[in-house]
Amino acid sequence: MRRSLIMGNWKLNGSLSMLAEFITSLSDQIDALKMCDIAIAPPAVYLHEAKRQLKNDRISLAAQNVDFNTGGAFTGELSPQMLKEVGAKYVIIGHSERRSYHQETNEGIAKKFALLKETGLIPVLCIGESETENAQGLTQTICAKQLDAILAKCGPDAFKNSVIAYEPIWAIGTGKAATASEAQKVHAFIRQHVSKGKDEIAETVIIQYGGSVNASNADEFFAEKDIDGALVGGASLKVNDFLKIAQSAVAAKTF
């Protein structure tokens, strides 16, 4: 059985005091969450301090972005090796906010994916369609195009020990979420598309849902067979809300 992964993406939020309080509260409850994996992605400046404070290896760290260069004259960028050194296990790439605000392309994201795999970090590849594309019935077409850039560069085996986060753009930070059944259909398509007939990949690749996941709707999503946890945005900024989402994932795996 695949383990669920609940990851909190703090985006441009947080402080040292918030980090300390969050880690303390999460550490106190982690033993009750044995059926799922937990990770937080604070801003990169806090990763080293988070690593220092974490005493429990059940809580992993994630970075919110990475450059596709390993070093050189690239002001403001961070390499995979740097992120690994300060404690990151996972790295989020392809988030719609980066695709939109920073004009990131499928090809550039594929370079990041490949470099993360070479460095021994786990990519969390975000994919998803806009509201207009959804209304036009293009969800699968858009997701396939984003996945195909990775497949073309790395092949299907690259999705072993990797994470995909389906985040419909129209649901991110809007309070609107896809229904659980809608999300399940997309997740099933993603699983089939990346595996290319290889059962080992289909059975093991973790596919999270993201987009206005909260403590009130998490149960519905985690009841679906192809939804393996969540990439949580706003609801990850309050530790009690984040814990409730994780508890929902545990309950879904133990019924």
176 has binding-site annotation = no
Other C-beta atoms closer than 10 Å to the C-beta of 122 total 18
Alpha-carbon gap, residue 1 to 252, rounded angstroms: 12
- What tokens were used for 252? 């879904």
Q: Please choose, from the candidates 189, 191, 224, 185, the residue with its C-alpha nearest in 3D space to the C-alpha of residue 207.
A: 191
Do 171 and 177 form a contact (C-beta atoms < 8 A)?
Answer: yes
Q: Which residue numbers are catalytic?
A: 95, 167
Alpha-carbon gap, residue 42 to 234, rounded angstroms: 12
Which residue spans within 141-222 are E strands per DSSP? 163-166, 206-210
11 has binding-site annotation = yes
Straight-line distance from the first to the last Cα atom of the chain, in angstroms, rounded to the nearest whole number: 13
173 has binding-site annotation = yes
34 has binding-site annotation = no
128 has binding-site annotation = no
9 has binding-site annotation = yes
170 has binding-site annotation = no
Alpha-carbon gap, residue 213 to 230, rounded angstroms: 7
Q: List residues forming the annotated binding site.
A: 9-11, 173, 212, 233-234
Q: List residues forming the annotated binding site for substrate.
A: 9-11, 173, 212, 233-234
